Homo-oligomer: A and B are copies of this chain.
Amino acid sequence: MKNTFGNNLSVTIFGESHGSSIGVVMDGLSPGITVDDSVIKGMLSKRRPSGAISTSRAECDEYIIQSGVFNGKTTGTPLCITIPNRDTNSRDYAETRWIARPSHADYTANCKYHGFEDYRGGGHFSGRVTAGLVAAGAVVMPALEKLGIRIGTHIKSCAGISDRDFHDLQKDLDLLSTLDFAVLDGTVADEMKSRILEAKSNGDSVGGVLETVVTGLEAGLGEPWFDSIESLISHAVFSVPAVKGIEFGAGFSLAEMYGTEANDCFCIDNGTVQTVSNNSGGINGGISNGMPIIFKTAFRPTPTVSAPQNSVNFKEMQDTVLSMKGRHDPCIVHRARIVIDAVTALVVGDLLAGRYGDDWAFKGGR
């Protein structure tokens, strides 16, 4: 099942940028989870383009819960959410139909789908499809929080500007939940945004790095082989458009340490097993050790830029030059932050579903 993720809590997405609706079906939700519209709306709004640093496409993200919720709670049967597409630009895509936008999926989609793909606005490859993921994550998130599990992501760096590191995780998570532009150090947010606008004014785009933390996850989740926590999170995260790298804990810098530096020594703290450092990002042998899960994801710059680029017409098999017009994002890192939160929530929900079974949101008990 290609467009499905998750072993026990599974999510299937569907939809194209200019089709009728995009949406998601979730299966394996515990019955009795309170579905909180304010959380869904809040998370969708954090993904929605807003202001000059995003595309001007108006995405109202009105959603319809088609099934799986009764009296405000999950039934335990599949929950389908559709999000109708409204502001679909009616301009003629046919003109550039066969010209491959560099680092976009036009050419690869054509190789895979033989020309039958819906090419309008990126079709099924459109970042818009992540709205479904966000909605799905928003169904799960309150259930996790009830179990004491919190998830948050900040923009570690973007457009050449870096945010501070996490200091006090719980306070930082509180702060992030209030921010539309997820930078912990308020003094750098404006500089970051102005750099994004600068790139935009140059017809260019920028990327960045997101850092995500999961707190309150118990020890003992994940699998030694194939379904390690790193495997599951990376699998989910790499399906988010523009992600090209991920590292857990100290990540790539671990490769340059000695073992004695890299190792996280254990200690007893407050009657529980903890580690003094957390270079492992909360994961040993693929399995959670009770410390915060920490990982960073690298986002490439949005591939849509205004400058003319060399490209090809892959029908005529001829070189050409492409100039792209139209609405697009000079940066998607600040919007992607909530998508990473959402897919992380889905992975954590899936881990709990494997561990505790059908009633996982209640740790198996009722």
Contact with B along A8-49 (1 / 0, CB 8 A): 101011111001111101011001100000000000000000
Most buried by B among A2, A236, A364: A2
A 271-326 contacts with B by CB, 8 A = 271, 273, 275-276, 279-281, 283-290, 298-305, 307, 309-312, 314, 317-319
Whether the Cβ atoms of B258 and A244 lie closer than 8 Å is no
Q: How far is the CA of A66 from the CA of B63 in the complex (A)?
A: 13
Q: How far is the CA of A199 from the CA of B261 in the complex (A)?
A: 12
Contact with B along A172-201 (1 / 0, CB 8 A): 000000000000000000000000000100
A68 contacts B by Cβ under 8 Å? yes
| Among B124, B279, B305, contact of A259 (Cβ-Cβ < 8 Å) | B305
Contact with B along A248-262 (1 / 0, CB 8 A): 111110111111111
Whether the Cβ atoms of A225 and B239 lie closer than 8 Å is yes
Please name all residues of chain B whose beta carbon is closer than 8 Å to the beta carbon of A114 when the two chains form the complex: 31-32, 76, 359, 366
Nearest CB of chain B from residue A80's CB, rounded to whole Å: 4
- Contact status of A104 and B257, CB under 8 A, knowing A118-B70, A226-B5, A317-B268: no
| Interface locus among A51-59, A136-144, A145-153, A227-235 | A227-235
Whether the Cβ atoms of B262 and A220 lie closer than 8 Å is no
A123 contacts B by Cβ under 8 Å? yes
Please name all residues of chain B whose beta carbon is closer than 8 Å to the beta carbon of A3 when the two chains form the complex: 25, 27, 77-78, 223-226
Contact with B along A327-366 (1 / 0, CB 8 A): 0000000000000000000000000011111111000111
A219 contacts B by Cβ under 8 Å? yes
Whether the Cβ atoms of B304 and A14 lie closer than 8 Å is no
Whether the Cβ atoms of B207 and A16 lie closer than 8 Å is no
Please name all residues of chain B whose beta carbon is closer than 8 Å to the beta carbon of A300 when the two chains form the complex: 250, 254-255, 257, 262, 279-280
Please name all residues of chain B whose beta carbon is closer than 8 Å to the beta carbon of A353 when the two chains form the complex: 357
A 96-125 contacts with B by CB, 8 A = 100, 102-105, 107-109, 111-114, 116-118, 123-125
With both beta carbons as reference points, the residue of chain B lying nearest to A119 in the complex is identified as B70
Nearest CB of chain B from residue A92's CB, rounded to whole Å: 15
Nearest CB of chain B from residue A216's CB, rounded to whole Å: 15
- Contact status of A100 and B285, CB under 8 A, knowing A25-B14, A118-B70, A263-B303: no
- Contact status of A77 and B258, CB under 8 A, knowing A105-B284, A220-B111, A225-B3: no
Whether the Cβ atoms of B105 and A286 lie closer than 8 Å is yes
Most buried by B among A77, A78, A275: A77
Whether the Cβ atoms of B4 and A263 lie closer than 8 Å is no
- Contact status of A287 and B109, CB under 8 A, knowing A160-B256, A312-B273: yes
- Contact status of A2 and B28, CB under 8 A, knowing A70-B117, A260-B307: yes
A102-B264, A108-B219, A246-B246 given; name 9 further pairs at CB < 8 Å.
A14-B78, A16-B68, A76-B114, A77-B124, A105-B224, A207-B256, A226-B235, A245-B252, A356-B358
Q: Mind listing 5 A-B residue pairs with CB under 8 Å? A: A14-B25, A14-B67, A75-B116, A112-B287, A244-B281
The 7 closest A-B CB pairs, nearest first, are A105-B285, A111-B220, A245-B247, A205-B259, A357-B357, A108-B287, A31-B116
